[in-house]
């Protein structure tokens, strides 16, 4: 689904949600509801981005630790197969 199609689908979903709450199009309650739905979606996206950032950071830190451990093992025993000598 393209970005424009996703945006349209989100708008329709939000309109349906607000209508199901009884808010009439153009009313202050409808406008508040639409803003709340957008805010909910924005928060969900930010949480997803933060989870991705944390996962990436954890993976990077794990790689650094593995590299350090391998270096220490190779310093102790350079004839190990993983040391490439």
Residues 35-40: contacts with CB within 8 Å, 24+ apart? 37/13, 38/14
Q: What is the pTM of this model?
A: 0.67
What does the mean pLDDT of the chain come to? Answer: 95
Q: Which two tokens stand for residue 35?
A: 């803003």
Domain count, the chain: 1
**Angle separating helix axes 3-20 and 28-76, nearest 10 degrees:** 130
Q: What's the confidence (pLDDT) of residue 10?
A: 94
Q: Percentage of the chain with pLDDT > 70?
A: 99
Q: What's the confidence (pLDDT) of residue 85?
A: 63
pLDDT tens, position by position, 21-54: 999 999 999 999 999 999 999 999 999 999 999 9
Q: What's the confidence (pLDDT) of residue 72?
A: 96
* 63 pLDDT more than 70: yes
Q: What's the confidence (pLDDT) of residue 81?
A: 92
Q: Which domain does 23 fall in, by range? A: 3-83
């Amino acid at each position: 689904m393209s970005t424009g199609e996703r945006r349209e689908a989100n708008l329709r979903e939000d309109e349906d949600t607000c209508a199901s709450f009884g808010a009439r199009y153009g009313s202050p309650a409808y406008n508040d509801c639409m803003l709340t739905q957008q805010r909910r979606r924005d928060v969900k996206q930010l949480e997803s981005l933060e989870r991705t950032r944390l996962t990436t950071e954890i993976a990077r830190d794990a790689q650094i630790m593995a590299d350090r451990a391998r270096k220490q093992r190779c310093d102790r025993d350079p004839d190990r197969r993983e040391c490439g000598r």
